[in-house]
Amino acid sequence: MLLSSLVLLFILAPLAGMFIHTGGAQFLETVKDKEVHQSVWLTLWVSFAATLFFAAGAIPLAWLLARKKFPMKNVVQGIIDLPVVLPHTAAGIALLGFISRDGFLGKAASSVGLNLVNHPSGIALAMAFVSVPFLINAAKDGFAAVPERLEKAALNLGASQSKVFFTISLPLAWRSITTGFVMMFARGMSEFGAVVIVAYHPMIAPVLIYERFSSYGLNYARPASVFFILVALLFFIALRLISSKRKVKHINIDAETD
Amino acid sequence: MLKLTDINRRLGDFALKDINLEVSDGQYYVLLGRSGAGKTQLLELIAGLEHPDKGTIILDNEDITTRRIQDRKVGIVFQDYAVFPHMTVFGNIAYPLKARKEDRKSIVEKVENAASAMNIKHILERNTEKLSGGELQRVALARTLITSPRLLLLDEPLSSLDASLKDDMKRLLRNLNKAGQTIIHVTHDYNDAISLAKRVGVIHNGRIIQEGSVDEVFKNPSNRFVARYAGIRNFFRVDISLEKGILSGVTRNNVRFKLENKNTGSECLLIIKSDSIILSKEMPEDKELNIIKGKISEIIPSEFGVEITLDAGDLFYVNLHTSVFEKLKFVEEEEVWMSFPSGSIVALNGTS
């Protein structure tokens, strides 16, 4: 009991300390700082876009992992978990090689006039690289929890495999997928190591905080951190509320029109 | 017509072995077996949820052994119903029609018709979470029947229903079959088999060990397992009549039973457990009992003693423990009295 409280205290104390040490005037000034909200906004939308974009491939992959047997499945699962255990700066270096003009993806992008390095799309890739395992694994658990019998029943009723996926598997795994989505989004926007290597500019919030800390010190970095945490929290709560509402709505829509 | 030829399928320690089976159109085929005998596995092979290691499945002269589930037109109603929890009753029943992209108007019409036939029209807009087992089953059945399956597979459809619902469901299934629906019904309960089946197959340890009409299988069990499993060779189709306040059932061969149960129709099936029949050389005096005179036509050894076949117009089978048999010393061709209380007769609405 005591030990558990200590752990909780360990998590809360630094955060509380940071909030307490941030003066109101200082904080207001930071809130008005254009550079700060631009970077917070950039962080949020790039992470959100990365999550959305990668979900399109991650969710079907999660379904495959939950339902199908295939050769080297363990290896595939290992590859998916790899970004979680890599040092993120190392991941950033690997990714930079891949997206710079000499890299495979970089070449392809620059042929259509897009430079991925120091560009929001590069940031999105770095964020996704380290955070997509969270979405895949959560969605996989969600799909695995859907009784296979329901999918077979739907097939037996004449629905195609893709119809079954969209009308049975996906709606029933929706809660886990949403959780995975939020986790990927959260993990993506808090990413520093991989992003700072592929894109110092435009500056996402964690890079901005680091820059302020290394150039001007703790007192200057603190209000920006507080602001970023508050915005992130608001965003999470909103996303949670929307997704739980969507769940309810989803049932009704499905029943009446789908 | 469905034809299974030499179906073999291994699943872990268990295997279906050399299954040969023919089910003609309009048939009501009951596959009888204990749990773990392979009944459900066999249904899943026919529906295409699993594939056999060996053998062929032919439906209406087409080889469907490797055909995809969704292309077989074989409807299956699972034991746990597999009703989609995130849709209303309407959504569930409409599901196959939506998958076929039928237009809204025809979907509504067909769903309403199917729901009326199953007596669930009043719950169409409800979510499925709070439905009773009986309601869920009707939803699942309506949802499957709306696809007009060439073959309807039912996995233990009566096992979790209480008595009155069971009778309703039996009537419904019988009517479906009368309307031409070919049905394969798997069950562990011989009562279901006797009251519904036109043909019965007994499955044990992954093999079909006997097959035939209800009479063939239960009156002439091919081996001890079937006999013991069935355990109920004394069953009789009777006409019910009420004379002088006494309800009685009479077989075609004029054997008369006194009955207790007043809830039977004009015809029914009577089952008398062979161990509730008492044999005696003198006529018993208790007038409350059913007392029937018969001639011993055969005495054969059985597991715990002997099995005596009595001819009283219809054949009765009575098991006697060795000690009883040695005391009473019955011989073949001897005339004896059978007696049993009315309460030991089970009456099934078998032919309504």
Per CATH, the number for B2-230 is: 3.40.50.300
Q: Are A150 and A187 in contact (CB under 8 A)?
A: no
**Structural domains of chain A, ranges and CATH numbers in brackets:** 25-256 (1.10.3720.10)
The winner for highest mean pLDDT among A170-184, B158-172, B313-327 is A170-184
Query: Mean of the pLDDT values across residues A199-226?
Result: 92
Per CATH, the number for B235-348 is: 2.40.50.100
DSSP string for A28-57: HHHHH-HHHHHHHHHHHHHHHHHHHHHHHH
Q: Are B60 and B24 in contact (CB under 8 A)?
A: no
* A240: Cβ contacts below 8 Å, ≥ 6 apart: A182
* A170: Cβ contacts below 8 Å, ≥ 6 apart: A59, A177
Distances (CA, A) of A235 to A22, A182, B85, B189: 21, 10, 31, 58
Band of pLDDT at residue A251, cut at 50, 70 and 90 = very low
Check CB contact of A193 with chain B, cutoff 8 Å. no
Question: Tokens 């979900």 label which residue?
Answer: A55
Are residues A250 and B47, on separate chains, in Cβ contact within 8 Å? Answer: no
ipTM of the complex: 0.78
Per-residue DSSP letter, B342: G
Q: Are B153 and B46 in contact (CB under 8 A)?
A: yes
Higher pLDDT, B299 or B218: B299
Q: Which residues from B are below 8 Å from A161, CB to CB?
A: 70
| Inter-axis angle of helices A218-256 and B89-99, nearest 10 | 80
Are residues A254 and B87, on separate chains, in Cβ contact within 8 Å? Answer: yes
Domain boundaries along the sequence of chain B:
2-230, 235-348
Q: What is the mean pLDDT of chain A?
A: 89
Tell me which of A96-100, B56-60, B348-352 is least confident: B348-352
For B254, the enclosing helix (H) or strand (E) is none
3-class secondary structure, B22: strand
Band of pLDDT at residue A181, cut at 50, 70 and 90 = very high
Q: Indicate if B235-348 has the same CATH topology as B2-230.
A: no
| Inter-axis angle of helices A174-189 and A218-256, nearest 10 | 160
Query: Mean of the pLDDT values across residues B100-111?
Result: 94
**Residue percentage of chain A with pLDDT more than 90:** 62
DSSP string for B59-112: ETTEE-TT--GGGS-EEEE-TT----TTSBHHHHHHHHHHHTT--HHHHHHHHH
Q: Are A195 and A187 in contact (CB under 8 A)?
A: no
> What Rg value do the Cα atoms of chain B yield, rounded?
23
In this structure, what token pair is assigned to residue B261? 């149960």
Check CB contact of A69 with chain B, cutoff 8 Å. no
Tell me which of A143-147, A225-229, B72-76, B264-268 is least confident: B264-268
pLDDT of B271 > 50? The answer is: yes
Q: Which of A157, A168, A246, A253 to mutate to test the interface with B (most CBs of B within 10 A)?
A: A157
Band of pLDDT at residue B249, cut at 50, 70 and 90 = confident
Check CB contact of A67 with chain B, cutoff 8 Å. no
According to the model, what pLDDT value does residue B261 have? 63
pLDDT of A172 > 80? The answer is: yes
DSSP-derived pairing of the beta strands B315-321 and B207-213: unpaired
Spatial separation of the C-alpha atoms in residues A258 and B67, rounded to whole Å: 27
Are residues B80 and A149, on separate chains, in Cβ contact within 8 Å? Answer: yes
**Residue A67 C-beta-side C-alpha neighbours within 13 Å:** 22
pTM for this entry = 0.77
Spatial separation of the C-alpha atoms in residues A172 and B303, rounded to whole Å: 53
Which residues 134-153 of A are in CB contact (within 8 Å) with B?
A: 147, 149-150, 152-153
Check CB contact of A157 with chain B, cutoff 8 Å. yes
pLDDT of B300 > 70? The answer is: yes
Q: Are B49 and A152 in contact (CB under 8 A)?
A: yes
Q: Where are the alpha helices (DSSP H) in B122-201?
A: 133-145, 163-178, 190-196
